[in-house]
Structure 1
Amino acid sequence: MYPGSALGEFLRSRRARLRPEELGLRPGVRRRRVVGLRREEVAPLAGVSVGYYTRLEQGQSPNVSDDVLDAVARVLRLDEDEVRHLHRLARVARARESVRPERLRPGIKLLVDSFAGAPAIAVGRRGDILAWNRLAHALLAPHWAFDGAQMPNFVLMDFLELDFARRLYVDWPQKARDDIAYLEGSIARFPGDEGLTGLVEELLVLSPEFREMWTEHPVSNCASISRDYRHPEVGVLTLTAELLRTPDDEGQGVTVFQAEPGSPSAQRLARLAELAATAAV
């Protein structure tokens, strides 16, 4: 089960994307039992033995060098985000210490509240919304209680509240893949987080869409993303989400959503802020 075999699953997913002809290899006359490249095709191109590469995919090469990882990355044509992800997975393959429960620092809550004209949330490594301001609540989840005892998890919302999520996100499939990339990044950094692995297992059971996309193992740094939101009261808004990592909190960050100044989206966001303020009275 992922993430116990995180490194192997990631490498297999990237092998499956490539055809032998793309690397100048002959497809051969035998029927191929795997989609994409075989291990014995990747290994010599990366300059390692088939046995070594097999052990790498099986998580049995904890001391793999950066040079070997970079060689494998070149063969599999990984982009910069994927190369960083590969190195993270290799580093944590031998370290599975437990992690502390997430606790929101009061200062982070104050930071979220300070964004009066922009939606802002504090988000945890599992996708839990740990804090939000009124405008973020109005934009992302007005059907949830703003100050309820339980806060939403944006990954669970996007996959298990499908009717709402598909209406809100103009390009829901891309948002869903970005959610999975967020979880991928957290798993690479916190392999000992049982709550994180439990969340993945829950979604694999409950969401066919998640099961299908999970096999792709999308990777992204999720730091800056422009997205279109279809809000029922103000219309479509194009907003850029900037994720600001908090280095002294394990996996937590603050996401701020901004519209281009003077744009129709900025006007609609201002209107949404008025509606949110009225609802709070």
Structure 2
Amino acid sequence: LLLPLCLDVKVVASESALPLLLEADEISETVFLDGPHAAINYLTQGHVRINIDRVLPTLQRLTVGYLIHVDANSGMGRNGYDYRWQDLPAASRMLSESALYAFHLLKKWQRKQGLDSLPVSKVRQYLDYVKHLDGGDEMSHARELTLLYRQFYRARRYNSNSILRPVSIAARAVLDADPRLFDKDGLVEVVLGQIASFSERAQREGLAFFPKGSDRQSREIAMRAFSEYFVNQVFLESFRGDRSALRGKQLNLLKGACEVMYRAESARDRAEQELAENGDAGSAASENSKEGGEE
């Protein structure tokens, strides 16, 4: 895939010793992959004939797939470093099903490294990876949920369970609600009640703190917006009202994406706070310098 970009040529990739084509005019596409490996097929989304405008995006998907696989599966073996390419098809298949599996594999890397929390650099890296995997639409729910619950909840502990408590509580509230008794609006009220109760308890027990600058009214508005979005957009629309999705991998994928978004937003907040503090310190130093000069 690099050859067309660097040399402006058409490329046919094949294991066959015999030429499949004799003239470039025999294919209208820029790249032709003859019988690619299953892992490659997953990452290229089944496209074996690739036009020039799809060469770079396809190369990016392949590169991201390789890098995610190396993070999650490679490691030291008996004979040195083992890239475990035999595990690439499984990782590629997951990424072809959903770009959010990137965060599932990121958690695998985290466990392998023995880290309590994800480094900010890795969080940003994987958010970029998901963009190249065309995961923008899939990330929209995670982004919106995270931005909403960060308006009324900030975890004091930086582990996954603490960060994802609002999502876990909302899912449990929907699962526990009897579908014969609660319609759509009723489910929203059930989730809202559980979220409000948890928010007060977490604040009282020192498990969480309120966002800076928020007040009771703004937090109540955010809790209702979060509850409505979770029930209407996530459970009823995206999961099609399937309660089993709230018990299985679909919810876990969503939670993995929410955790990464939460950490990215926290890092952004800290960077803005440090910038403001440095600016204030610089202004104070400048004022002191002026006063000293006047004396």
TM-score for the superposition, normalised by structure 2: 0.23
Q: Which has the higher helix share?
A: 2
Q: In terms of Rg, which structure is larger?
A: 2
Q: Which has the higher strand share?
A: 1
TM-score for the superposition, normalised by structure 1: 0.24
